[in-house]
Structure 1
Amino acid sequence: MESSRLFFIIMFLYTIVLSISSINCTEKNNNLVTNQAALFVFGDSLFDAGNLKYINSTSGFQSNFFPYGQTTFKFPTGRVSDGRLITDFIAENAWLPLIPPNLLPSNSHSQFTYGANFAFGGAGALVETLPGMEVYKMGGRKFGFLNMGAYECAPGISILDTTNIGSCSKPVAELIYLYNKKFPGALRRLQRELPGFRYALHDYHTSLLERINNPSKYGFKEGKMGCCGSGLLRGINTCGNQMRHSYELCENVTDYLFFDASHLTEKAHQQFAELMWSGPPNVTGPYNLKALFELN
């Protein structure tokens, strides 16, 4: 629309995109035009607020079961965690309501006053799904990114080597290292080539690995075992009994970094959201998200 100017902040993790836009809105009563921030989210299960439950999908990929959602919402919302996600806390920091899944039946598709969540659990990095330059062409200028997290040490990965249970996977770590090494250079190149391009890059790998190796330093008791699941380190993803298998559930979820075999707890999400929102340049830079919101 001519009357709507969009300025996007995009955050990427694997196939994840989070967009924060500034939209001119007209109030019905007095025709006053106000500048309304909006948050748009694209990606996989790290950011999925419940879209997956509205499509036909293998139940093993879904989280429409207790104990998902037990902490804040007291019922499963489709978020793959015990509570809120990183994007939920970012929305709160930006004084926005929680951004609903785009496929929520009551969600309006015609107007996105506060944004929309398009993330899907299990989303793949496929050539045909890459956004290309579309967001930039629509006015996107402010972008936020996460590098690849230290998932080589997640419970579901660290049980694969039966001779060394609890150890991080070297093959996975090598692939993540290669990606993270190249990523900053690609962003700097985009900044040189695209007029107005500004970005925040959070070092998610270091932040997550720090908490895995030193959980007590960040208020956790357990950094390598999941709160919910089965098997060694609760690294088998049976949480919620979605595959008709039994599972174990920890007594105190706030003691844990990981909620299930590969997804984090609400407590962890809040910490990462704060680092992305207001972290120093060596953690989130060259801008953090707060600075991008304030940038004209």
Structure 2
Amino acid sequence: MKGLLFLSLFLFLSKFFSLANAKYNAIFSFGDSYTDTGNFAVLTNSPGSPPYGMTYFGHPAGRSSDGRLVIDFIAQAFGLPLVPPYLAKSNNYNQGANFAVFGATALGSQNNTSTKAQQQGTSLDVQFQWFEELKPSLCNTPQACKDLFAQSLFLVGEIGGNDHNFMLMAGKTVQEVASIVPKIIAAISAVAEKLINEGATTLVVPGILPTGCVPVILTRFPSQNKDDYEPNTGCLKNYNGLSSLHDALLRNAVTDLRAKYPQARIIFAEYYRAVIDFLSNPANFGFTGGSLKVCCGGGGPYNYNFSASCGGPGASACSDPSTYVNWDGVHMTEAAFKQVATGWLNGPYADPPLSSVPSYQLAH
């Protein structure tokens, strides 16, 4: 009996550690502008305007930053090409595809609280439909698909932040948005479960940013009461509480999925804790130019101006984006994304980290 128990434990641990040290053959990702590598650019027939892409690509490259996103750093760390946008209809998606779209939401238009922005046809359920449409070109039998997806890395998010922000900008209170959070989490969990049933064995499920630290929110909802702000970060407490609720419920959903699907390695990844760390001790991360202040903007307390947004008239970029956390008032700089990617790959911003020994080094 002891021998049987030992063998079972050995087989389980062997499978776990083989997953922990896996080198993936493909990456498939879902989400919003924090993951979009060009789908919105295809939809709008424009890669964006300078100075987007200035740091790495040298030109706008369909990304909402001055350079690479977390997904770009992860792909490079595993020796894979940058994940191509699905809507570009590239000839070869054998090493992965990106379904994420700028402005996408977790909840689709079927949700009775959805805004016009949520009805644009790019929500998480639509992105999963695109994945299903792509499948026949990747594998021609159920077993071949399971084999492919077992050797692939899946990113389910970041997604859900737009659901919060669109409702807040439309005049909903924090309490009203909080009441919808369980629906948002259920939508994310449902897609993760569908992917597991398709054969996915390694999934990264990221939480959202601390909403109260996003310059567009700080600019739109200023308070005259200093007690409404966190003393160590300058972020709005109430809005950060909303993000904390989202992440807590999402972490619980990941725990439930792990229990239901022990064969899968499901990683809960954080933006929230990373951003709080950056803002609490910016100099420790090299962010000497600005923590809450925006690199590319048009003035105001946070250098964010609703009438002069990055890439448009009246806005300009700082000389060194690598010293800033925030790029354009909503999205982070390449330097901040790199710090997050490092924390997902090697800890401490992922549970468990994507990689184990030896540590993966990010491209410069």
Say whether the 8 Å CA contact 1:154–1:262 is kept in structure 2: yes
Hey, what's the Cα distance between the residues in 1 that align with 2:28 and 2:322? 28
Bigger Rg, structure 1 or 2: 2
Query: Which residue in 1 is equivalent to 2:240?
Result: 173
- Quote how far apart the aligned CAs of 1:291 are: 4.3
Q: How many residues align?
A: 248
Query: Which residue in 1 is equivalent to 2:107?
Result: 126
Say whether the 8 Å CA contact 2:84–2:93 is kept in structure 1: no
Query: Which residue in 1 is equivalent to 2:355?
Result: 290
Structure 2 matches for 1:48-59, cutoff 5 A? 48-56=36-44
Query: Which residue in 2 is equivalent to 1:46?
Result: 34
- Structure number with the higher strand fraction is 1
Query: Which residue in 1 is equivalent to 2:224?
Result: 163
Hey, what's the Cα distance between the residues in 2 that align with 1:115 and 1:172? 35
Structure 2 matches for 1:1-296, cutoff 5 A? 37-56=25-44, 64-105=48-89, 107-108=90-91, 111-127=92-108, 129=125, 130=187, 131=191, 133-159=193-219, 160-161=221-222, 163=224, 167-221=234-288, 222-232=290-300, 233-236=302-305, 238-241=309-312, 245-280=313-348, 283-285=349-351, 287-291=352-356
- Quote how far apart the aligned CAs of 1:266 are: 0.7
Letter of the structure 2 residue corresponding to residue 269 of structure 1: F
- Quote how far apart the aligned CAs of 1:178 are: 1.4
Hey, what's the Cα distance between the residues in 2 that align with 1:162 and 1:69? 33
Residues 132 and 36 (structure 1), Cα distance of their counterparts in 2 relative to 1, 3 Å cut: closer
Q: Secondary structure at the match of 1:212?
A: helix
Q: Deviations over 1:7-34 (max 9, x none)?
A: xxxxxxxxxxxxxxx9xxxxxxxxxxxx
**Is 40-49 or 187-196 further displaced after alignment?**
187-196
Give the superposed CA RMSD. Answer: 2.6
Hey, what's the Cα distance between the residues in 1 that align with 2:194 and 2:254? 17
Q: Deviations over 1:204-247 (max 9, x none)?
A: 21111110222111011111101011232122351000xxx411
- Quote how far apart the aligned CAs of 1:284 are: 1.8
Residues 137 and 174 (structure 1), Cα distance of their counterparts in 2 relative to 1, 3 Å cut: same
- Quote how far apart the aligned CAs of 1:48 are: 0.6
Letter of the structure 2 residue corresponding to residue 157 of structure 1: I
Percentage identity across aligned positions? Answer: 31
Query: Which residue in 2 is equivalent to 1:27?
Result: none
Say whether the 8 Å CA contact 1:85–1:270 is kept in structure 2: yes
Hey, what's the Cα distance between the residues in 1 that align with 2:24 and 2:274? 31
Residues 291 and 235 (structure 1), Cα distance of their counterparts in 2 relative to 1, 3 Å cut: same
Say whether the 8 Å CA contact 2:210–2:244 is kept in structure 1: no
Query: Which residue in 2 is equivalent to 1:19?
Result: none
Say whether the 8 Å CA contact 2:210–2:239 is kept in structure 1: no
Hey, what's the Cα distance between the residues in 1 that align with 2:40 and 2:225? 34
- Quote how far apart the aligned CAs of 1:192 are: 1.1
Say whether the 8 Å CA contact 1:191–1:197 is kept in structure 2: yes
TM-score (normalised: structure 1): 0.76
Q: Secondary structure at the match of 2:25?
A: strand
Gap runs ≥5 in structure 2: 1-21, 111-124, 126-186, 360-364
Hey, what's the Cα distance between the residues in 1 that align with 2:314 and 2:224? 25
- Quote how far apart the aligned CAs of 1:74 are: 0.7
Hey, what's the Cα distance between the residues in 1 that align with 2:304 and 2:223? 12
Say whether the 8 Å CA contact 2:321–2:327 is kept in structure 1: yes
